Amino acid sequence: MSNAMNVTDANFEAEVEQHDGLTVVDFWATWCAPCRMIAPILEELASERTDVRFGKLNVDENPRTASQFGVQGIPLLIYFKDGAERGRVVGAVPRNRIEAAIEQYLK
């Protein structure tokens, strides 16, 4: 069972842009090996952190939102605070880099 919410073209505005608080959205695809590498890290963080919401958006199934954010490479983590984009991390990065970005962009 995933602790990260599933974000789609249909619910992105309600789940992310209109949300007051901290959200990290993972832009990913099923065929992307680096995406699968960081998925367990994001699951751990989603289960451990109550201060940040984690979402996953499949770029193949949700092209409108992927295009809206100019997604070029995946995995792409976009950090949102009160619905506004605050920063990005591209690629399969280690857990400490994801956590450092939370501190940098969302605190």
**Dihedral over Cα of 23, 8, 11, 70: its sign:** positive
The two tokens of residue 96 are 């400490």
Listed in sequence order, the residues at least 6 apart from 26 whose beta carbon sits closer than 8 Å to its beta carbon are: 4, 35, 38, 39, 42, 54, 55, 56, 57, 75, 76, 77
Q: What is the pLDDT of residues 66-107, one digit of tens each?
A: 999 999 999 999 999 999 999 999 999 999 999 999 999 998
pTM of the complete model: 0.96
Tokens 């619910």 belong to residue: 11
Catalytic residue ranges: 32, 35
Q: What is the pLDDT of residues 30-78, one digit of tens each?
A: 999 999 999 999 999 999 999 999 999 999 999 999 999 999 999 999 9
Q: Among the residues of 1-94, which ranges form H helices? A: 12, 33-48, 63-68
